[in-house]
Amino acid sequence: MTTATARRGDNRISPVFLGIAAITAVAGWAVWTDFASKPGFAVFLFVTGAWVVSLCLHEYAHARTALHSGDISIGAKGYLTLNPLKYTHALLSIVLPVIFVIMGGIGLPGGAVFIERGRIRGRWRHSLISAAGPLTNVLFAIVCTAPFWLDALDGVPDTFRYALGFLALLQVTAAILNFLPVPGLDGYGVIEPWLSHKIRRQVEPFAPFGLLAVFAVLWIPEINQWFFDAVDWVLGALGVHEWDTYWGRAFYQFWQGTPEIPTSTQ
């Protein structure tokens, strides 16, 4: 195999990712056309599929930015194929985020691609690599909310509108959580290159527990309320109302029964 062929293979989109994208598209069509006999299950497949696609793109953004910043080992690790099975921690990157969506409707950030930081020179590059992932969630949130703030939802089926609103909520929560300056999250990765060596050494042991700590803190009722108030404020500024996200979650949790589509008061 030549080097050129290997590089093409490193960049070829994985059939696994294409399969997930196809399921998402079919489920979205079923929600849009009301083709599914159980719309809740179609919403579940559509939102879960789109959420996994966004997770793959999140990690791809980290990997692609690292590649252009000097880590030429990225391609050989399979990160550029968008295959979630290639990630260093598929459990943290895909399985747990999906479980948390199912449990509580929160976009839990994952952690997956191993970047050889020693190959990269320049603090700005290190910060950009860390920021690339959550910025992908921001872009995804903008795309999901565009029909809302562009007033382009006339004639759109209610069920699809609610599903899109719930998906937007997941992207906003993921972006906010990822940008927190907590060890182990991307937000800390953005500021870490600018900290002194002493501080980084002191913080390093806490990195594996950062995500767990954030999750534990969110169980505190007052903080949970403050967090989702902030999320609702961001979504409201983008034209997505609590009405949309509430019913989107209700349809998503199809195992609780299919709710009757209410008449929006917005």
Active site residues: 59
Scanning the structure block, which residue is given the tokens 């050889």?
Answer: 116
Closest listed residue to residue 193, CA positions, set 120, 109, 114:
120
Cα 165 to Cα 156: distance, rounded to the nearest angstrom: 13
What backbone phi and psi angles, to 5 degrees, belong to 195?
Answer: -90, 160
Cα 108 to Cα 184: distance, rounded to the nearest angstrom: 13
Contact criterion met (CB below 8 Å) for 251 and 258: yes
